[in-house]
Chains A and B, each alone.
Chain A
Amino acid sequence: MLEVLKGVNKEVGVKGSLVLTTDGIVVASLIGVGLQEDAVAALSANAIRTFNRELSTIGASPFSRLVISSAHGKMVFIVCGDSYLVVVLDKHINADLTLLSIASASRKIRNMTTL
């Protein structure tokens, strides 16, 4: 799985990536310099739990993709089976191309976790 994350991190603008179970346990993580792994994992786990809990109240959980675009960066969450691939990105990226690569990585992870 780390090899898949290494591949994701090679994409332009990617600052780090990790895989979390839907209940927030870190499966694999490759976070770049300047980001704190524990902090990224904790807030990602919290976001996944909160989003799915709230969405369930309107019969709309779980989410399969979440992109938070902020003034100076992005966070992408993509479901891969029972896990989520989380990727932290710079603001200045070609989002479409990078999102395609992230989607491809999420499929690889889903295949790994369901084998």
Chain B
Amino acid sequence: MALFGSSKKKGLLDLERDALAAPEPGKFTRLIEMAIAADNRAKAMEVARKALELFPEADSIRSAFQNLKRFELQPRIIELQNAISHTPSGRHYEMLAGLYHTDLGDDDKAYEVALEGLQQYPESDGLNLVAGLVRMSRFHKEFTANDFREAARHLQKAVEANAMNSKALVSLGRIYAEVGSSTRASEFLKKGCELNPGDERMEAVLQTIAAEPLPEPDTLDDVLREIELSGTLGARGLKIFRLMDPTAALPGDGKVDAAAVESYLRNVSGLAGFRCAVILRRDGSMVRNSASLWDKVEDLGRVVGVLCRESEEASRRMDIGGISLVDLDIPLGKLFLSVVGSLSLGVLADHGVQEGEYVEAVERFRSIFS
């Protein structure tokens, strides 16, 4: 793949070769930025798409891709924003939220627009649908009870406002089925099937619910708490998730790849100022730690487990989603933490290290193990 064709600068070609030989989110982000700087947006988009395939969870790549798409869609966005300013209507908010959600994949912005619109048009099924889908997507990434409740609340309102909104019905049925509430799931999925007869995915989910019945929980609080703590859905929930989204990845349902862990630790231990690193399972048990002369590496593992859980709890209670990076200045140096899927990471480095290198290493961890 010649990313820059007859590019004048050898540096760009070198970076291209380097990125393709040893792909990393940071290298692709720099390539995208260089292509934009060279005013070659088509090539920047090509690189961004390729990078997104390789690293779907990398924030920097997603952000670069969204910026490129936003540039393409800017005239339409401005048109809708002007319409909202001068002649506001629920429809304009719905179109703008839908554009951010579907075309740009910018869930945060879509959610922001949907909530702003809902303040004026609380009965809009379109805005409640977008808000519900965004919170459902967050639930599938972070498994917080808040996300589930908000997704169900918005989707329920969308269905109440428009009983023919089949997407809201199916999403509501699906999310209830994933957490084991079969009665509610069946009710919404059957209505969805009536509106869209022959939908094979919905029929498969209904068959799974019927074939693998679970006792209907009195309250979802305990179920949601369990999902939050385990960081993934139960066995039947996972099956339903895969039926609905066969190609999507769900954090926490994969096995730990020992070779990838080993390779990652080898890589991070080569950074300047590195002291030691630990990788843990969600239950706090050690997967692997880097070779270290420091005799407290096992203790560090226990501390990292507690600090990751505490950070996640604080994040949940603030309703700001799952943690991507926690960085601490401590008397021993700098400590970087992260949680992705079923794994937690802790990296200890000396004071005065290049923070960017370690942040990039954490992002790489998230990309590899998401």
Tell me the interface secondary structure of chain A in the complex: mixed
Contact with A along B322-349 (1 / 0, CB 8 A): 1111111111100100000000000000
Is B299's CB within 8 Å of the partner chain A?
Answer: yes
Chain A residues within 8 Å of B332, by CB: 58-60
Chain A residues within 8 Å of B285, by CB: none
Q: Which of A4-12, A21-29, A68-76 contacts B (4 or more CB under 8 A)?
A: A68-76
Q: Is the CB of A64 within 8 A of B329?
A: yes
Query: Closest B-chain residue to A55, C-beta based?
Result: B330
Is B24's CB within 8 Å of the partner chain A?
Answer: no
Is B10's CB within 8 Å of the partner chain A?
Answer: no
Known contacts A67-B326, A69-B323, A71-B321; is-contact A57 B303 (Cβ 8 Å): yes
CA distance A43 to B318 in the complex (A): 9
Q: Is the CB of B317 within 8 A of A39?
A: yes
CA distance A14 to B269 in the complex (A): 35
Q: Is the CB of B311 within 8 A of A68?
A: yes
Q: Is the CB of A61 within 8 A of B318?
A: no
Chain A residues within 8 Å of B9, by CB: none
Name the interface residues of A47-93: CB closer than 8 Å to any CB of B: 47, 50-51, 54-55, 57-61, 63-75, 88, 91-92
Chain B residues within 8 Å of A92, by CB: 108
Is A1's CB within 8 Å of the partner chain B?
Answer: no
How many chain A residues touch the partner (CB < 8 A)? Answer: 32
Known contacts A71-B138, A71-B141; is-contact A43 B329 (Cβ 8 Å): no
Is B306's CB within 8 Å of the partner chain A?
Answer: yes
Known contacts A47-B310, A51-B307, A55-B303; is-contact A40 B322 (Cβ 8 Å): no
Query: Closest B-chain residue to A74, C-beta based?
Result: B320
Which of A57, A60, A64, A73 is most buried by chain B, counting CB atoms within 10 A of its CB?
Answer: A60
Is B354's CB within 8 Å of the partner chain A?
Answer: no
Chain A residues within 8 Å of B317, by CB: 39, 43
Q: Is the CB of B331 within 8 A of A60?
A: yes
CA distance A40 to B318 in the complex (A): 7
Nearest Cβ on chain B to A63's Cβ, whole angstroms: 5
Nearest Cβ on chain A to B292's Cβ, whole angstroms: 13
Q: Is the CB of A68 within 8 A of B330?
A: no
Nearest Cβ on chain A to B349's Cβ, whole angstroms: 13
Name the interface residues of A16-52: CB closer than 8 Å to any CB of B: 35, 39-40, 43-44, 46-47, 50-51
Query: Closest A-chain residue to B311, C-beta based?
Result: A68
Query: Closest B-chain residue to A67, C-beta based?
Result: B327
CA distance A65 to B325 in the complex (A): 14
Q: Is the CB of B310 within 8 A of A70?
A: no
Chain A residues within 8 Å of B335, by CB: 60
Q: Is the CB of A69 within 8 A of B326?
A: yes
Nearest Cβ on chain A to B277's Cβ, whole angstroms: 14
Chain A residues within 8 Å of B329, by CB: 63-66
Q: Is the CB of A71 within 8 A of B330?
A: no
Query: Closest A-chain residue to B306, C-beta based?
Result: A54
Chain A residues within 8 Å of B318, by CB: 35, 40, 43, 70, 73, 75, 88
Query: Closest A-chain residue to B304, C-beta based?
Result: A54
CA distance A70 to B329 in the complex (A): 18
Nearest Cβ on chain A to B351's Cβ, whole angstroms: 10
Known contacts A57-B299, A61-B331, A63-B329; is-contact A70 B307 (Cβ 8 Å): no
Nearest Cβ on chain A to B319's Cβ, whole angstroms: 8
Q: Is the CB of A68 within 8 A of B306?
A: no
Is B16's CB within 8 Å of the partner chain A?
Answer: no
Q: Is the CB of A71 within 8 A of B324?
A: yes
Is B300's CB within 8 Å of the partner chain A?
Answer: yes
CA distance A13 to B324 in the complex (A): 18
CA distance A65 to B299 in the complex (A): 21
Chain B residues within 8 Å of A91, by CB: 108, 320
Q: Is the CB of A72 within 8 A of B320?
A: yes
9 CB-based A-B contacts, threshold 8 Å: A50-B307, A51-B328, A54-B310, A55-B307, A57-B303, A58-B300, A64-B330, A70-B320, A71-B320
Spell out B's residues near A (CB within 8 Å).
Answer: 108, 138, 141-142, 296, 299-300, 302-303, 306-307, 310-311, 313-315, 317-332, 335
Identify the 3 closest CB pairs spanning chains A and B, nearest first. Answer: A71-B321, A73-B320, A65-B329
Question: 4 more A-B contacts (CB under 8 A) besides A64-B330, A75-B318?
Answer: A66-B328, A69-B325, A71-B138, A73-B321
Spell out A's residues near B (CB within 8 Å).
Answer: 35, 39-40, 43-44, 46-47, 50-51, 54-55, 57-61, 63-75, 88, 91-92
